[in-house]
Structure 1
Amino acid sequence: MAPNGSRSPESNSWADGPWPLIETPSKTQDTSKHASIYIANEMAFAHNAMLRGLNSLYLQADLSDPKDISDFLFFLRSWAGWVSHHHVLEEERMFPQFEEAMNQPNFLQGNVEEHHIFQPVLKKLLAYGNTKPEEYQASTVRSLIEEMAPSFREHLAHEITSLLSMAPYDGPALFKVYKGCEAEASKQDKFVVPPMVLGLRDITFEGGNQWPALPPLSTHIIHYLLARKHAGSWRFLPSDAWGNPRQLKFATSKVEPNSMARD
């Protein structure tokens, strides 16, 4: 990380590269004008958290200590499980309910089809998270990520455009659907997903932000109580629990990806 706090994806110095983050709609639009903008903005922040996780895994895969490998593998399967849950929730509940609220069948079908491009490799990453530490190969993790990342990153960007295109339709109905799905997502393992997501955000991104909005003291509860169970794995997160970026503890500067995705 540069002294002034700026980060360069090309230098592989932090988790905003090598696969680049997505510009959030709130940078240029008022999220209060329509639910579609609010929803797209929230999803862009979530997608960037996913990309930081992907980049962090890629840049820190070169490990030798069995304890570090074990913790890393837990982070890998936690990340892959969270991303998988997110896309299943979209396919089975969020997207169909959005389409029903708009009375537009198959409006988001293209996004579902994009899921199916990278999901087979995502499943392989999830399964590899159960590898025994003594059988771990960094090259396997990186190879799988390089195979998945281009279509995955492209999809994450495309979906924001699709969500913004819901602007002509019933905002309150769309907002109700989103909040219902948000509540469903919050039911995931409290010892895994909340600590991980908090460490995958960046409160300095785009000049500063407070994503995700949390009740008072929630961050303290997550950090001091919930995060303790798997604290070793959270060493690989790019930010602390308060969303402050920090150096990647196990980053390998020599890593150069074979593929990169751009808008």
Structure 2
Amino acid sequence: MAKPRWADGPWSLIETPSKTKDMSQHGAIFIANEMACTHNCIIRGMNSIYLQAEYVQKPEDIADFLIFVRSWASWVSDHHILEEGTMFPGFEEVARTPGLLGDNVEQHHAFQPQLKTLLAYSTDTKPDKYVAETIRKTIEEMAPSFHQHLSDEINSLLSLQSYNGQALLKVYKRAVAEATKQDKHAVPPLVLGLRDVTYEGGSRWPALPPLSEWIVHYVFGRRYSGAWRFLPCDTWGKPRALAFGPKSEEGTTV
């Protein structure tokens, strides 16, 4: 039987620095590892959208799928706004080098038009007007520069090891605190379902207070619960077959 299709392709995941480096050696390594985990969530989301888009056909399924796409596009957009407005300027201040991460900001401009298109389409489209190919073509146009950026940024962060690690961590934690202000009914359920705790042999990213996953699943996740069907993992980060796709004779998504 064919191997089940899943969210680790068609665009590949990023190797996390923790696979080869000791995160306790420098704050920049820890930050790069955290960002790699975030970027892998972003890639799994893009893959999940791309793979399932053409198989969603019922109006109620399309409505939920559009919420899923909108939540992902909004989260990614906010992530880059936070980088440009808070995180990167803070890192450059620690390094006393304005424009140090300018190439990473410039890369944002290459895929920003398609990201805005996805956000607008998923926000404004009614189920009866849904065209899967619009989403798939937009992702195909965006993915090359987008995926390259997500990979390059990890190397840029690792290059900060010559600067004050504790000061860099302070900036990073401030940005993370700002990120927690995003829509709790959309972002936490989305992110927890895009992580894979089995990746590279096991990962507990992100570090969460006790009972957080239960609160996200049973409280915050309820408002858009139909949209989370399209996630590649459950709230606890356990991989599962994608909900929509071509079916084998046994009924397994392949």
What band does the TM-score fall into relative to the shorter chain? over 0.9
CA distance in 2, matches of 1:109, 1:90: 11
- Paired residue secondary structure (1:212): coil
- 1:1-263 aligned at under 5 Å gives the runs 13-62=5-54, 63-130=56-123, 131-252=125-246
Unaligned runs of 5+ in 1: 3-10, 255-263
User: 1:228 deviation in Å?
Assistant: 1.0
Q: Distance in 2 between matches of 1:139 and 1:241?
A: 29
Q: Tell me the distance in 2 between the aligned counterparts of 1:41 and 1:200.
A: 16
Q: TM-score, normalised by structure 1?
A: 0.91
Cα pair 1:59 1:252 within 8 Å, conserved: no
- Amino acid in structure 1 at the alignment position of 2:18: S
Task: Report deviation, 1:201.
Answer: 0.4
Cα distance, 1:251 vs structure 2: 2.4
Q: Give the structure 1 partner of residue 252 of structure 2.
A: none
The amino acid across from 1:146 in the alignment is E
Q: Is the partner of 1:165 in helix, strand or coil?
A: helix
Work out the CA distance in 1 between the residues paired with 2:64 and 2:144. 26
Measured after TM superposition, the shift of residue 207 of structure 1 is 0.3
Q: How many residues align?
A: 246
Contact 1:77 1:126 in 2 (8 A): yes
Task: State the one-letter code of the partner of 1:93.
Answer: T
Report the RMSD for the aligned CA atoms in angstroms.
Answer: 1.4
In the aligned structure 1, how far is the partner of 2:197 from the partner of 2:86?
29
Moved over 2 A (4+): 251-254
CA-CA distance at 1:252 after TM superposition: 3.8
Mapped partners of 1:123, 1:253: distance in 2 = 32
Q: Report which of the two has the higher share of helix.
A: 2
Is the 2:88–2:101 contact (alpha carbons within 8 Å) kept by the matching residues of 1?
yes
Q: Is the CA contact (8 Å cut-off) linking 2:4 and 2:241 kept in structure 1?
A: no
Name the counterpart of 1:5.
none
**1:120 CA drift (Å):** 0.7
CA distance in 1, matches of 2:75, 2:243: 22
Cα distance in structure 1, aligned partners of 2:246 and 2:119:
22
Contact 2:87 2:175 in 1 (8 A): yes
Task: Measure, in 2, the Cα distance between the counterparts of 1:169 and 1:247.
Answer: 43
